Amino acid sequence: MNKILVTGGLGFIGSHTVVELQNEGFEVVIIDDLSNSSEKVLDGITAITGKKPVFEKLDLKEKSAVEAFFTKHNDVKGVIHFAANKAVGESVKEPLMYYENNVGALVYILKELKKLPAANFIFSSSCTVYGQADKLPITENAEVKQAESPYGNTKQIGEEIIQDTCNAVPSLKAIALRYFNPIGAHESANIGELPLGVPQNLVPFITQTAVGLREQLSVFGDDYPTPDGTCIRDYIHVVDLAKAHVVALQRLLDGSNKSQYETFNLGTGKGSSVLEVVKSFEKVSGEKLNYKIVDRRAGDVISAYADTMKAKNELGWETKLSLDEAMASAWKWEKKVRGK
Ligand code: UD1
C-alpha cells in the first residue's frame, strides 16, 4: 500500500482529501500542528472511512522535527502539502509569520524529499496567483500578477521554489493545484470547515449567520461591473476538490505527468455572484438570510472563474457537484456543529 503524507490533514481541505485517499486504498499519515484544527477531526475521518489515519502532531517550522519525521517514514511515496496560514488580512499584519510558515516549512519538506530516491509532491496553491485576470475564464497560462498580500505572495513564491527544485532534482515530481473557492462539507456532515473566530470567507459567514452566531452578512459591494453588481467567484465543492488531489497524486505515481512540474486550475468553470450564493443558500436551507449591502472590501477582484479544460483533458477530472449541493452540505455541517 502506498504511504502518503498529508500535511495539514486535519484542516478543511486536508481532512476531505484524507477521506478520499483512504477510500482509494492509500495509507495516510497526517502531520498537523493543530493551530487551526482539532484532533476531533480524526474521529470524523474514521467515522466516514472506517479507518483511523496515523497522526503526528508536529510543527513543520521545526527543521529537526521534519528531518526526524522523514527518517522514521522513509517509505513515504507522496506528499500532499496543505499546512499553511491562509488569512489575507492577518498576512498583511504578520508577514513574517506567513513567510516562515508557508515558505520556510515548504523548504524543509523539499530538502527531505530531495534525499529520497523518488518523490511525488502536490502543493496547495490558489487562484489568488492570477489576481484580476485580463481574460476569463482563467487558464493556467494567464499571467501571474504581483501579489496583493503576503499570503498571496507565499503561494507564488512556493510555486517558484518547487519549480526551481524540480529543475535541480531529477527524482522530484510536483503538481501545484490552484484552487478557486472551496466550499461545502462531506455529505455525512462528519467533517467540514471550522473557521477560528469570525469567518473571513463568504460561505461560513452565511451559515454562521443563519444558525444565529452572527447578526448579519455584509455583502461587500453591489456596484461592480457584473450582472447583479456583486463579485463573481468559482465556488467548488470541497469533495470534488479533494478527489482532484487523489487524481493528481496518482498521475505522479503512474508517471503519466507530462513534465516534472505542472500546474492545474481546480474550479467548476462557472462563476457565481455573491447574491447568487445567498439565493442558493436560501433555496436549499429554506431559511431567509439577514444581509445588507456595504462598501467594497479592499483587495477584492471583480470576477474570477476557472478554465477547466486542462484539468479535464490532462487529469481526466471535472467537478460533479453543484453550488446547491455544496450549500446544502455546508448548512447540514453548520447545524450539526452547533447541535441544531
Ligand atoms: C479569499 C482570499 C484569497 C484566498 C481565499 C481562500 C481575499 C481578498 N481573498 O478569496 O486570497 O485564497 O479567500 O479561501 O481575502 N464576501 C462578502 N461578505 C463576506 C465575505 C465575503 O460579500 O462576509 C464576498 C467577497 O467580497 C467576495 C466573495 O464573497 O466577492 C468571496 O469571498 P471569500 O470567501 O473571502 O473568497 P475570496 O475573496 O475569493
Chain segment 127-152, per-residue pLDDT in tens: 999 998 999 999 999 999 999 899 99
Name the grid cell of 313. Answer: 483533458
For residue 222, how far is the Cα from the chain centroid?
A: 27
Task: Give me ligand 1 centre to Cα 107, in Å.
Answer: 28
Which class in CATH covers the domain with range 202-233+269-337? alpha beta
Q: How far apart are CA 327 and CA 323, in angstroms?
A: 6
Q: By alpha-carbon position, which residue is closest to atom 15 of ligand 1?
A: 88
Centre of ligand 1 to C-alpha 202, Å, is 6
Domain limits, the chain: 3-182+237-266, 202-233+269-337
- Spatial separation of the C-alpha atoms in residues 38 and 26, rounded to whole Å: 22
Mean pLDDT of the 91-104 span: 97
Domains 3-182+237-266 and 202-233+269-337 share a fold: no
Contact 268, 185 (CB under 8 A): no
Give 275-278's long-range contacts (Cβ < 8 A, gap of 24+): 275/219, 275/222, 275/228, 275/230, 276/228, 276/323, 277/202, 277/203, 277/206, 277/235, 277/323, 277/327, 278/206, 278/217, 278/219
pLDDT of residue 270: 98
pLDDT tens digits, 296-323: 999 999 999 999 999 999 999 999 999 9
Percent of the chain scored above 70 by pLDDT? 100
Q: Which amino acid is at 297?
A: R
- Between CA 10 and CA 53 the distance in angstroms is 10
CA dihedral 196, 188, 274, 268 (to 10 degrees): 120
- Residue whose C-alpha cell is 500535511: 7
Q: What is the pLDDT of residue 260?
A: 98
Averaged over 282-302, what is the pLDDT?
A: 97
Classify strands 76-81 and 119-126 as parallel, antiparallel or unpaired. parallel
In whole angstroms, give the CA distance from residue 209 to residue 83. 28
Residue 151 designated active-site: yes
For residues 47, 51, 57, 62, the Cα torsion angle rounded to the nearest 10 degrees is -130
CA of 305 to the centre of ligand 1 (A): 13
The catalytically annotated residue of 151, 179, 235, 305 is 151
Does the beta carbon of 11 lie inside 6 Å of ligand 1? no
The reply to whether ligand 1 has any atom less than 6 angstroms from the CB of 300 is yes
Residue 218 Cβ inside 6 Å of ligand 1? The answer reads yes
HEC secondary structure over the chain? CCEEEEECCCCHHHHHHHHHHHHCCCEEEEEECCCCCCCCHHHHHHHHHCCCCEEEECCCCCHHHHHHHHHHCCCEEEEEECCCCCCHHHHHHCHHHHHHHHHHHHHHHHHHHHHCCCEEEEEEEEHHHHCCCCCCCECCCCCCCCCCCHHHHHHHHHHHHHHHHHHHCCCEEEEEEEECEEECCCCCCCCCCCCCCCCCCHHHHHHHHHCCCCCCEEEECCCCCCCCCCCEECEEEHHHHHHHHHHHHHHHHHCCCCCCEEEEEECCCCCEEHHHHHHHHHHHHCCCCCEEEECCCCCCCCECCECCHHHHHHHCCCCCCCHHHHHHHHHHHHHHHCCC
| 2 backbone dihedrals φ, ψ, rounded to 5° | -75, 125
* Cβ(103)–Cβ(111) below 8 Å: no
Mean pLDDT for the stretch of residues 285-295: 98
**Ligand 1 contacts CB of residue 131 (under 6 A):** no
What are the pLDDT digits (tens) for 231-274? 999 999 999 999 999 999 999 999 999 999 999 999 999 999 99
Q: Whose CA is nearest to atom 34 of ligand 1?
A: 201
pLDDT tens string 146-161: 998 999 999 999 999 9
User: Which residue puts its alpha carbon closest to atom 4 of ligand 1?
Assistant: 128
**What per-residue confidence (pLDDT) applies to 235?**
99
Would the pTM count as exceeding 0.75?
A: yes
Whether 109 contacts 81, CB under 8 Å: yes
- Structurally, at CATH architecture level, domain 3-182+237-266 sits in 3-Layer(aba) Sandwich (3.40)
> Is 308 close to ligand 1, i.e. is its CB under 6 Å away?
no
Compute the distance from residue 300 Cα to the ligand 1 centre, in Å.
7
Q: Which residues are CB-neighbours of 307 under 8 A, at least 6 positions away?
A: 137, 138, 139, 140, 265, 269
Kindly indicate the confidence band of residue 1, based on its pLDDT and cuts at 50, 70 and 90: confident
* Mean of pLDDT values over 180-201: 96
Mutate to test the pocket of ligand 1, among 82, 126, 128, 201 (most ligand atoms within 8 A of CB): 201
